[in-house]
Amino acid sequence: MNENDELQLDVIAVGAHPDDIEIACGGTLAKLATQGYRVGIIDLTNGEPTPRCDDPAIRLAEADAAAKTLGIAMRKVLTLPNRRLFDSFEARVALATEFRRYRPQIVIGFGNKTPMASPDHYQAMLITDAAIFYSRLTKWDEHFAGLPVHIIPVHLNFHLGLEPTQVAEHGSHITVDISEQLETKIASVLCYQTQFPPEKHRTLDRVRHIAGHAGAAAGFEAGEVFATTRALGCQDLVKTVLPTA
């Protein structure tokens, strides 16, 4: 195995802050890891300051613990500013550079605004969309530390997991069965003790409820829903709709 093989990831999930990914799709990432896929998380900011965290290093340690809980192969926190995250050329290049470095086949990110929550989430969506495009642009290597072009075949959008699921207006949506991974997902969220102290554990009840609601619609005990950026297609209808057949 050469160095490029060691860096290669199958899936990268992009969040604005540490804990976004755990809440949105931690169950799916844990499932992918147990299935043998190499999964990475990129947080655009360190998420600080927050009311109960006295040092950004504490939040980073919590993020590392959460990644280990999920079985994540790589987690990287970029140095973009929390609370002041904006879609910009510099932010797009920073994320696209990581895509070129780790060469994922699938990127998962925010798919919409999150009203009454951080506006960083929507900016993260814009940055991710642009970075996927930048990753494949030729004759621009000077902006990406000389890393080669990389085309990302599949882009999925997640729902934050704290509000009722909304089906994408365009494309398609797919539900991942996380019945066996729900408790792992919850455990990863609990790694953020500064963000979810006992008095805020009601948030976990909402996460469980949303997972149960999403799963029930697909016949699972718990699920996470992803929207596709283009319509899903298949060659074998039976194997697609009856995956255990």
Q: How confident is the model at residue 3 (pLDDT cuts 50, 70, 90)?
A: very low
Q: Quote the percentage of the chain above a pLDDT of 90.
A: 82
Give the pLDDT score at 161.
63
Is 70 exceeded by the pLDDT of residue 55?
Answer: yes
Is 90 exceeded by the pLDDT of residue 2?
Answer: no
pLDDT in tens, 68-125: 999 999 999 999 999 999 999 999 999 999 999 999 999 999 998 888 899 999 999 9
Structural domain boundaries of the chain?
A: 3-241
Neighbouring C-alpha atoms within 13 Å toward the C-beta of 92: 15
Q: What CATH superfamily classification does 3-241 receive?
A: LmbE-like (3.40.50.10320)
Let me know: does 137 contact 93? Beta carbons within 8 Å.
no
More confident residue, 141 or 152: 152
Give the pLDDT score at 232.
85
**Average of pLDDT values for 45-63?**
97
pTM: 0.94
Let me know: does 161 contact 23? Beta carbons within 8 Å.
yes
Its sign, for the CA torsion 138, 143, 144, 146, is: positive
CA angle 8, 141, 103 (to 5 degrees): 15
**Average of pLDDT values for 42-61?**
97
Distances from the Cα of 70 to the Cα of 52, 57, 64, 187, 199, angstroms: 24, 20, 10, 9, 24
Give the pLDDT score at 216.
95
pLDDT in tens, 166-220: 555 556 899 999 999 999 999 999 999 999 999 999 999 999 999 999 999 999 9
Give the pLDDT score at 6.
64
Q: Quote the percentage of the chain above a pLDDT of 70.
A: 92
Q: How far, in Å, CA of 136 to CA of 108, rounded?
A: 17
